[in-house]
């Protein structure tokens, strides 16, 4: 019977030097991972700050274009009565109707004015031009009733997105009512795109968060805007309006 004697070969253990090298490698890997994560965080935060600055600048640019539209509309509101005849016996209603009948097309072609209304105290707003146009928003008339001596402005999308301005009108030295103009926002959105290179859409109300009431290049950009929305809200309205900008 053969007996197996225990082997006298030494057991294989890592030397202290190899153990130190392994620990050092792990520590270096953790340090490099931490540095990479910190660098990523800093880059992401810097990018987000830059995006916020870009969005703020674009919000100011878009608002400036809309404000410029209101200023043009205010000048046009004072110009419309002068387009009528010079008959001294003609009242303001007749003068406005004649002016818009003869020159309404010019307001549309030159300044993109889509509708004109005549608002008198305690009387429902009257559509002067054209015969078929969307109704004047009640919110604008309410603002005018609250401050009849002040110009009222409103951005509304019911159903199309218009800028509205109602300016008090003086006739023969006394206040006779207010002339309201409606203008499409399409030119302002296209001007914003030409100025910044960014696409923009307008969202009206909270019930339709992904339904764009007005948009630049809808076929190309609408899917992108649905995925990446940046809302620039107009909080003073009774019905919320947001501008979604895609950079």
18 pLDDT tier (thresholds 50, 70, 90): confident
Among candidate residues 237, 192, 236, 247, the one with its CA nearest the CA of residue 214: 192
What torsion do the CA atoms of 166, 170, 175, 180 make, to the nearest 10 degrees?
-20
What does the radius of gyration of the chain's CA atoms come to, in whole angstroms? 33
207/34 Cα distance (integer angstroms): 45
99/116 Cα distance (integer angstroms): 11
What pLDDT digit, counting tens, does each position of 127-137 carry? 999 988 888 99
- Is residue 9 over pLDDT 70? no
pLDDT of residue 232: 46
Residue range 211-228: mean pLDDT, rounded: 59
pLDDT of residue 215: 67
Among candidate residues 203, 185, 183, the one with its CA nearest the CA of residue 245: 203
What pLDDT digit, counting tens, does each position of 141-190 carry? 888 888 888 999 998 887 788 999 999 988 777 888 899 999 998 888 88
pLDDT of residue 151: 93
230 pLDDT tier (thresholds 50, 70, 90): very low
- Is residue 28 over pLDDT 90? yes
| Structural tokens at position 181 | 């103009």
Residue range 218-225: mean pLDDT, rounded: 58
pLDDT of residue 30: 94
Which range (4-8, 76-80, 125-129) has the least confidence?
A: 4-8
| Structural tokens at position 81 | 């009565």
13 pLDDT tier (thresholds 50, 70, 90): low
In this structure, are residues 154 and 181 in contact, taking their beta carbons and an 8 Å threshold? no
189/211 Cα distance (integer angstroms): 17
Residue range 225-241: mean pLDDT, rounded: 51
- Is residue 33 over pLDDT 90? yes
């Amino acid at each position: 019977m053969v007996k197996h004697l225990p082997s006298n070969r030494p057991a294989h253990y890592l030397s202290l030097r190899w153990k130190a090298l392994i620990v050092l490698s792990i520590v270096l890997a953790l340090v490099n991972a931490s540095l990479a994560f910190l660098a990523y965080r800093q880059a992401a935060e810097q990018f987000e700050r830059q995006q916020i600055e870009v969005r703020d600048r674009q919000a100011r640019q878009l608002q400036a274009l809309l404000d410029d539209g209101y200023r043009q509309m205010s000048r046009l509101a004072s110009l419309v009565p002068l387009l009528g005849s010079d008959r001294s016996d003609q009242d303001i209603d007749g003068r406005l109707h004649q002016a818009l009948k003869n020159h309404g097309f010019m307001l549309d072609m030159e300044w993109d004015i889509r509708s004109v209304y005549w608002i008198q105290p305690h009387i429902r707003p009257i559509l002067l031009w054209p015969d078929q146009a969307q109704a004047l928003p009640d919110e604008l008339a309410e603002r005018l009733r609250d401050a009849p001596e002040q110009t009222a402005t409103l951005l509304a999308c019911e159903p199309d997105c218009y800028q509205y301005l109602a300016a008090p009108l003086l006739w023969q030295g006394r206040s006779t009512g207010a002339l309201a103009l409606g203008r499409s926002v399409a030119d302002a959105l296209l001007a914003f795109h030409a100025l910044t290179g960014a696409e923009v859409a307008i969202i009206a109300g909270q019930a339709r968060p992904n339904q764009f009431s007005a948009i630049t290049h809808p076929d190309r950009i609408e899917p992108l805007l649905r995925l990446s929305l940046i809302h620039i809200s107009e909080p003073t309205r009774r019905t919320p309006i947001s501008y979604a900008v895609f950079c």
